[in-house]
Structure 1
Amino acid sequence: MNKIILLAALFACAHAAPHHMVLPRPPANVILNGQYQLIPEDKIVGGSEVVPNSLPFQISLQRRSSFGGFSHSCGGSILNENTILNAAHCVVGITDLTIFRVVAGEHSLSVVSGLEQNRDVSEYLMHPDYVQRTFFNDIALIYLASPLDLSVPSAKAVNMPPPTSEFDPPAGTITTVSGWGRISTGGSISNVLLSVDVPIVSDSDCNAAYAGVFDPNPIFPSMLCAGAPAGGVDSCQGDSGGPLFTGTGADAVQHGIVSFGPSAGCALAEYPGVYTQVSYFLDWIAANKQ
């Protein structure tokens, strides 16, 4: 009961001050199960179902509930057979790693296709300078207890961008974000993997949209923003940690990690989604992946 009261109070505050709060994007059941810290916290909206296993780098990070079953918590992407790229806010505060499992080759959360690879988590590493309040350096690596089989078409590593920020997609570039998150503000998560195309938004325009959230500027150079000016397309709760990318399949290049959005909802006009910019962390990723 206390969790429900606290959650209700949290969302009441968020909606009372939509211009001064942001939400990361794990699903609400993670909060209700007491597996996420109740800080001001922020699925794919406006998207469509992907061809099954056409995004073989996408994983589902799942958490065990108090009833013993696993449910989708965050997205993520395969770096190699031992390491998953994720958002720090998806794992922060977790000391019992047995609540986690990583599922590669997933498409439908309710139907077992036989292509799924379930792996326990042996450890995770958040960026040492991650700041929970501002989502600064919202990036983490998840290490698997046993390696994935990447010789099959349904599980492949994602490509990293070139080692220079000048190759990051400029404003207006069409990128894609994927996940099992909510299809609308307040709705349920998707049962199947969805994706949607979203244009990159300049840091200056994104800073103007989120002005007053964090001082002096809410959008750090290590963040990337994407969304349509008129709204209607976005990542949402349940997509956290998942990839923002160009290309598809084996040619996909990951540019961002789903991080946060406005507390008032997803896919709102003039409020793009905010992503951790992968190119800023290539050295850290290379030094720490297993």
Structure 2
Amino acid sequence: MMKYILVCILVSARGHQANGADPEVHPNAGLLPDACGEIAERRLAEGPAAGLYEFPWMALISYDTKHGRDFKCTGTIINSRYILTAANCIKNLKIAGVRVGEYNKCTSIDCQLDQCESHIQDITVDEAIVHEDFTSQANVDNNIGLLRLHDPIDFTFKNVAPICLPVSNALSSVTIDGKTATLASWKFRKTSSCALNKISLPLVTRDECIKKHETSSFVKLEISVNQICADEKAEDACGIVSGDPLMLEAGDQGGRRMVQYGLSSHGLTRCGTDYPGIYTDVSKYMDWILSNLKQ
């Protein structure tokens, strides 16, 4: 039987990098691997379909429901024992486990071009860590959490690897406004939810995001300083789920890597609207993430 503990740990107040906190010199910074975000094979597939090994950090979170086990949220591998996800994916929910190495949820053997993969890893969860200031009402904020796995992920397989986080000063200081990010998800409108997909989303400034949401005739969402926005008016962006990573290709000491800057959080559910989607700004939570990691 899975040992499951829900933990809310008091680490820091809002802002998360306030008080001069520097994640680069955090005592737990070494728990995030230097080898991460590899993009050598990211162009195996073009279009909405992701490459078979393009995003090996993607994780599926499974839940026990009255109809059996179901995948409802996603997350990303940040080291061999931790999955980064949204708080609303874990708070007060009965998690069955985490699956890594998956590409097509509907097949036991996944093939693309001349490559096939069949190895997946299903791992139970020892600990769920929800941000202590998470609010889940209309104006969602601090929507971030961690899952500590019972067993470490075996990284000897090609289809599992960690994503880079903006822990270094070089990556955390990158100006992302106006850049085009990549979102990976198993659920986009007009595309199959079986296989992993990707889409490009332009990032918009917080001021622009606020102005657009102020004109909404639906629920008016506040945009906090801990969030970033992406233009999702393209119909294909409909239906994304909490925990999906918003990534940018960025340079650091290890060369060009895929870095996770955003975490899908919430937004208006109507498709084709001009209201940007709202994402947790991962760079604002690096001190919180590191403070909640352990060997």
Bigger fraction of residues in strand: 2
Percent of pairs identical after alignment? Answer: 26
| Residue 208 (structure 1) aligned with residue 211 (structure 2) | yes
Gaps of 5+ in 2: 1-46, 110-117, 251-255
Deviations 1:85-127 (A, max 9, x none): 0000111222x4xx42211110011112322111111110011
Query: Do 2:178 and 2:202's aligned partners in 1 also have CA atoms closer than 8 Å?
Result: yes
Superposed displacement of residue 170, structure 1: 2.8
Off by >6 Å, runs of 4+ in structure 1: 212-215
Gaps of 5+ in 1: 1-46
SS at 2:124's partner residue? Answer: strand
Taking a change above 3 Å as real, the CA distance of residues 71 and 222 of structure 1, as seen in their structure-2 partners, is same
1:243-282 alignment runs, 5 A limit: 243-247=245-249, 251-263=257-269, 265-266=270-271, 268-282=272-286
Task: Tell me how many residue pairs correspond in the alignment.
Answer: 231
1:37-116 alignment runs, 5 A limit: 48-68=48-68, 70-94=69-93, 96=94, 99-113=95-109, 114-116=118-120
Give 1:117's match in structure 2, choosing from 121, 133, 153.
Answer: 121
Whole-angstrom distance in 2 between the partners of 1:255 and 1:126: 19
Whole-angstrom distance in 1 between the partners of 2:264 and 2:238: 7
Q: Which residue identity lines up with residue 64 of structure 1 in the other structure?
A: D
Bigger fraction of residues in helix: 1
Whole-angstrom distance in 1 between the partners of 2:159 and 2:207: 38
Whole-angstrom distance in 1 between the partners of 2:92 and 2:198: 29
Whole-angstrom distance in 2 between the partners of 1:154 and 1:233: 26
Query: Do 2:101 and 2:159's aligned partners in 1 also have CA atoms closer than 8 Å?
Result: yes
Deviations 1:149-206 (A, max 9, x none): 123221111101144586344322010001112425xxx9601000000010110111
Give 1:225's match in structure 2, choosing from 224, 229, 240.
Answer: 229
Give 1:144's match in structure 2, choosing from 149, 162, 166.
Answer: 149
Whole-angstrom distance in 1 between the partners of 2:196 and 2:134: 28
Superposed displacement of residue 251, structure 1: 2.1
Query: Do 2:188 and 2:237's aligned partners in 1 also have CA atoms closer than 8 Å?
Result: no
Whole-angstrom distance in 1 between the partners of 2:108 and 2:144: 30
Whole-angstrom distance in 2 between the partners of 1:166 and 1:82: 23
Superposed displacement of residue 80, structure 1: 0.7
Q: Partner of 1:131 in structure 2?
A: 135
| Residue 240 (structure 1) aligned with residue 242 (structure 2) | yes
Superposed displacement of residue 52, structure 1: 1.1
Deviations 1:180-236 (A, max 9, x none): 12425xxx9601000000010110111112227888x711111011115x5334252
TM-score, normalised with respect to structure 1: 0.73
Q: Which residue identity lines up with residue 286 of structure 1 in the other structure?
A: L
